[in-house]
Amino acid sequence: MKITLIPGDGIGPEVTKAATMCIDALKLGIEWETVYAGSDAIAKYGSILPEQVLDSIRKNKVALKGPMITPIGEGFRSVNVAIRQALDLFACVRPAKSIEGVPTKFKNIDIVIFRENTEDLYAGIEFEEGSPEAQSIIKEIEKQQTKKIRPDSAISIKPISISGSQRIINAAFDYARVNKRKKVTLVHKANIMKYTDGLFLKVGKDVAKRYPDIVFEDAIVDNLSMQLVKVPQNYDVLVLPNLYGDIISDLCAGLIGGLGVAPGANIGGDMAVFEAVHGAAPKYKDKNMVNPTAMIMSGVLMLDYIGKKEEAKKLEQAVRQVIKEGKSVTYDLKENRNDPTAVGTKEMAEAICKKLQ
């Protein structure tokens, strides 16, 4: 079968190569269709997201994508977000499961995050400070209610819909049922945002009635953040609106040792894109030193998605064995980050491949 491969920016090509090396070692006959997006694609195609990228994913239905650079506060918007929105990949699924041998203060973590991917503040409906559009919106809002908005404000719109909420919450409950999970926790800030987060919570309560076999609870996002670093074992499946999901999934990655071991999936109705949670880290580009675990484990999620469940388990076990042994691992997986026995990205991938033979 053909799978779209997007190498990404910065360290993206290196960790993506490590992942495809391990997947190819399983001899599944996968043919990679390589396309380019991100900052490197601008020079080649004059666009950060060429149409052929989306066309390839639509055709093949499955993609493995490396991390991409997103400028902070200026420049182009996130390519990651653009792909999710263009293909309506509404469910961002990010497992956070402890791996023996990864340095961390926490143990026995096994949480799966379901983040809504298309709405909320990440919808990208923003208006620049001082623009005619922002001024018009400020005036219109002041007509509708007594609250005043400072005239030098930028404006961002936070849409949360019944339909968007239903499908992500349904996905979380379906996953819990299929994977014999016991509890779904819906995360919100409905005590303050009573109409947007309040709607998300209301929909969650309605959906939960159809899953009497799954325990349902809700949690306010700030309190959840505290509880996750106190008693993370109390949580199983989390479902969240877009922004909270982004933040909380990074927090959960921290519980298991960091973004270097955190995989991710973006799933829609009939297609999916799999990617590491971490960024492109351009300062490490071409240095063959970054941890490829997150990207390889994203490949594990991809194999499971396409029905290669036994092969997915085999690859995951190989990754876990290499990390547990602690020999052929990158510097960040050593007890001492200056350990001279640390290996490079390629060498760690090769060690995982040997476990697959």
Active-site residue set: 122, 189, 222, 246
How far is Cα of residue 325 from the mean position of the Cα atoms in its chain? 27
Q: Are 355 and 321 a contacting pair, CB within 8 Å?
A: yes
Q: Give dist(CA 187, CA 216) in Å, integer.
A: 11
CA–chain centroid gap for 334, Å, is 25
Q: Map residue 306 onto helix, strand or coil.
A: coil
DSSP β-bridge partners for residue 111: 96
164 alpha carbon, distance to own chain's centre: 18
Rg over CA atoms, the chain: 21
| Phi and psi angles of residue 267, each rounded to the nearest 5 degrees, phi first | -120, 135
Amino acid of residue 344 = G
Cβ–Cβ under 8 Å, residues 261 and 292:
no
SS3 state of residue 94: strand
Cα 87 vs. chain centroid, distance in angstroms? Answer: 15
- For the chain, the distance separating the N- and C-terminal CA atoms, rounded to the nearest angstrom, is 22
